[in-house]
Structure 1
Amino acid sequence: MDWTVWTGLAVGLLIASVTAPVGVSGAVFLLPVHLSVFGVPSPAVTPTNLLFNVVAGPGALWRYRRDGALRGGLSRRLIIGTLPGVVTGAAIRVFALPGPGVFRLLVAGLLLPLGVWLCLRTLVPPRHRSITAAEPSPAGLTLLAVAVGIVGGIYGIGGGSLIGPILAARGLPMARVAPAALAATFATSVVGAGAYALLSLIGPGDAAPDWRLGLACGLGGLVGGYLGARLQPHLPETVLRLLLGGLAATVGALYAVQALA
């Protein structure tokens, strides 16, 4: 195996180990790595990221399911919304793609303030009351999931990095948020990868994934995701919230710098 495969395995393992405990697949961090380090062309970088999610996802999900963390309706509602969204996003990516600068500003504008706010709310909770759960209504949750699915379909970032901080900021415990966000990301990525496979036959440009790189990163993520999910129950809620907020703010800051460069 050449350096690309070994590096992909290592990068996937490292990223998934850190992000799985908070419900993020890690694809949002892989996107700039695929573009800048491995030189994956556009739009092939999007299905390559989705392929990573498909291969890496079962590691963390199997562990969460074994611990009983996937029970309840939150995962199901997120999946119902994200699946039609990712198909729409894939079609937009292939036939009417907005420039990468638009995406970077969008992600930065959402994740940077949300991550900072989540960290501040965790460190300095409101006086005289604790952080209470305020789960969106079923209709609101479905609309949110559709929007996240569209963004995930366009840019191959899964969606956990977007929907996780939003739900956590509303006070939902990370023990519920992380498994549900990863389940939605996995289902979205399976459908999105299939949509890109079909669109690559009829659309302009090369929309097929880089199979070798996607599989290498995904196999590393498979192991890293299991390790991260196994670690999650042993981490305090405050640590998990700060980790998710810090990841969101870091990604937002990186994309803001790239968009303004």
Structure 2
Amino acid sequence: MDWWTLVGGLLAGLAIAALTAPVGVSGAVFLLPVQLSVFAVPNPAVTPTNLLYNVVAGPGALWRHRTAGTLGGPLTRRLVLGTLPGVVLGACIRVFALPGPTVFRLLIASLLLPLGLSLCLRTLRPVRQRTVDELSGPALTALAVTVGTVGGIYGIGGGSLLGPILVGRGVPVAKVAPATLAATFATSVVGAGAYALLSLVGSGAIAPDWFLGLACGIGGLIGGYLGAVLQPHLPESALRVMLGLMAAALGILYAVQVLR
């Protein structure tokens, strides 16, 4: 691992987190193709490397939300309690019964592309705001478990999936962002630990690329804090459009990769 790679990882993590943290996305889902294509991290080690990024990067934005008094509450608890068992299940699936990457790309494209476009279009007209108490508890838990499992398999924190879904249901971004970032951080800690244990019994490149993951994470730590500072100064409509555009862009990216 040379110094240029470490500097590149730090800058990539900083830039991605600064852009995605205001809408509750850690940026891991955007960092994943960078680690595969630019830094040539092998499979399945790229998954725990991405989780390691979330572990190091997460506290920056979370600390800002905590000092601002926006961290915590029932939504955060429900998401964390649902995603934690899911990420352990996802790690086991990744190591012992790995589905091909095409499945993941199809899932992301089919979910996020229409969701992102719908979120952008709905922002153009008034949307009834919902409180957390209006959401179905069992449905929210099932969603969190599912997203946690997907995150454990592919090394994404889950905010890129949870955020558009919850905001699309009318929950304000200011409520969603700290909750999804907290769930991302918690599941990443558990997921990275699960992969470390599985590397003792599995074969192949299972352990994370520690140096690259730490470099990207330190950049994300700084960028996430900056993004969380920026969030209160952006109007709700702008945050909704940002989240919608990110979701749609991811859907398009993975759809193109599937078609190739």
TM-score w.r.t. the length of structure 2 is 0.97
| Offset of residue 255 of structure 1 | 0.6
Q: Distance in 2 between matches of 1:239 and 1:245?
A: 10
Percent sequence identity is 73
In the other structure, the counterpart of 2:198 is: 199
- What whole-Å deviation, never above 9, does each CA across 1:160-205 have from its counterpart, x for those lacking one? 0000100000000011000000000000000000000000111122
Name the amino acid aligned to 2:73.
Answer: G
Q: Is the CA contact (8 Å cut-off) linking 1:95 and 1:204 kept in structure 2?
A: no
In the other structure, the counterpart of 2:31 is: 30
In the other structure, the counterpart of 1:169 is: 168
Q: Distance in 2 between matches of 1:117 and 1:204?
A: 42
- What whole-Å deviation, never above 9, does each CA across 1:47-106 have from its counterpart, x for those lacking one? 000000000000000000110111311101100000000000000000000000111011
| Offset of residue 34 of structure 1 | 0.4
| Offset of residue 225 of structure 1 | 0.2
Q: Distance in 2 between matches of 1:204 and 1:112?
A: 35
Q: Is the CA contact (8 Å cut-off) linking 2:129 and 2:172 kept in structure 1?
A: no
Q: Distance in 2 between matches of 1:8 and 1:200?
A: 23
Q: Distance in 2 between matches of 1:131 and 1:113?
A: 20
In the other structure, the counterpart of 2:105 is: 104
Mapping of residues 65-144 of structure 1, within 5 Å? 65-125=66-126, 130-133=127-130, 135-144=134-143
How many residue pairs match? The answer is 257
In the other structure, the counterpart of 2:222 is: 223
Name the amino acid aligned to 1:191.
Answer: V
| Offset of residue 138 of structure 1 | 1.1
Q: Which moved more, 1:154-163 or 1:66-75?
A: 66-75
SS across alignment from 1:71: coil
Q: Once superposed, which parts of structure 1, at least 4 consecutive aligned residues long, lie more than 2 Å away?
A: none
In the other structure, the counterpart of 1:2 is: 3
Q: Distance in 1 between matches of 2:154 and 2:130?
A: 30
In the other structure, the counterpart of 2:16 is: 15
- What whole-Å deviation, never above 9, does each CA across 1:112-167 have from its counterpart, x for those lacking one? 10000000000234xxxx42316421111111000000000000011000001000
In the other structure, the counterpart of 2:186 is: 187
Q: Is the CA contact (8 Å cut-off) linking 2:72 and 2:179 kept in structure 1?
A: no
Q: Is the CA contact (8 Å cut-off) linking 1:9 and 1:218 kept in structure 2?
A: yes
Q: Distance in 2 between matches of 1:11 and 1:23?
A: 18
Q: Distance in 1 between matches of 2:229 and 2:90?
A: 32
Q: Distance in 2 between matches of 1:201 and 1:67?
A: 41
Q: Is the CA contact (8 Å cut-off) linking 1:8 and 1:213 kept in structure 2?
A: yes
Q: Is the CA contact (8 Å cut-off) linking 1:89 and 1:151 kept in structure 2?
A: yes
- What whole-Å deviation, never above 9, does each CA across 1:195-219 have from its counterpart, x for those lacking one? 0000011112211000110000000
Name the amino acid aligned to 2:94.
Answer: R
The gaps in structure 1 that reach 5 residues or longer are: none
